[in-house]
């Protein structure tokens, strides 16, 4: 199952000129700040953590996005707990910056961290428009 997530399935803190911070303790990811995308595929669990709730089907892509103005000196911090075995077909992409809100759109470019791909891999990627 492929999951393409923008800062999802995790607790998140971003520090930037325009600061974004969301611990999901209010139990609502649709407000303050608003996260949009595949909302039906996510839930806030009893521990007040953002959690995927989508189908465990190969090829599934889920995303939640929220706008942020990132500048030089930005820091990303998150906690991630992947319960399934990661592989070349089962991983999470945590997008840090992208040129569009819909990450599923062909030609999206930006930077993301891949969790999985191979067991225990955590890698930073730059995606160009045609690659």
pLDDT digits (tens, 9 = 90+) for 47-105: 999 999 877 777 788 999 988 876 677 888 888 888 878 888 888 899 998 999 999 99
pLDDT digits (tens, 9 = 90+) for 12-48: 333 333 467 888 999 999 988 899 999 999 999 999 9
**DSSP alpha helices (H): ranges in the chain?**
none
Question: Would you give the distance in Å from CA 72 to the centre of its chain?
Answer: 21
Separation between Cα atoms, residue 14 and residue 75, nearest integer Å: 6
Q: Is the pLDDT of residue 9 over 80?
A: no
Separation between Cα atoms, residue 29 and residue 81, nearest integer Å: 18
Separation between Cα atoms, residue 69 and residue 57, nearest integer Å: 34
Domain that holds residue 21: 2-127
The pTM for the full model equals 0.76
- CA proximity to 93, closest of 21, 20, 7: 7
Number of H helices, E strands in the chain: 0, 11
Separation between Cα atoms, residue 10 and residue 21, nearest integer Å: 12
Please give the tally of structural domains in the chain.
1
């Amino acid at each position: 199952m492929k999951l393409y997530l923008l800062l999802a399935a995790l607790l998140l803190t971003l520090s930037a000129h325009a600061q974004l911070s969301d611990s999901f303790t209010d139990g609502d990811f649709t407000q303050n700040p608003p996260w949009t995308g595949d909302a039906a595929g996510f839930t806030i669990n009893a521990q007040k953590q953002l959690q995927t709730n989508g189908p465990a089907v190969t090829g599934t892509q889920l995303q939640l996005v929220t706008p942020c103005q990132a500048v030089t000196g930005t820091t990303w911090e998150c906690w991630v707990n992947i319960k399934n075995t990661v592989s070349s077909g089962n991983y999470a992409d945590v997008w840090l910056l992208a040129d569009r809100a819909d990450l599923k759109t062909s030609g999206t470019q930006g930077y993301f961290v891949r969790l999985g791909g191979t067991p225990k891999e955590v890698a930073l990627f730059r995606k160009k428009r045609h690659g």
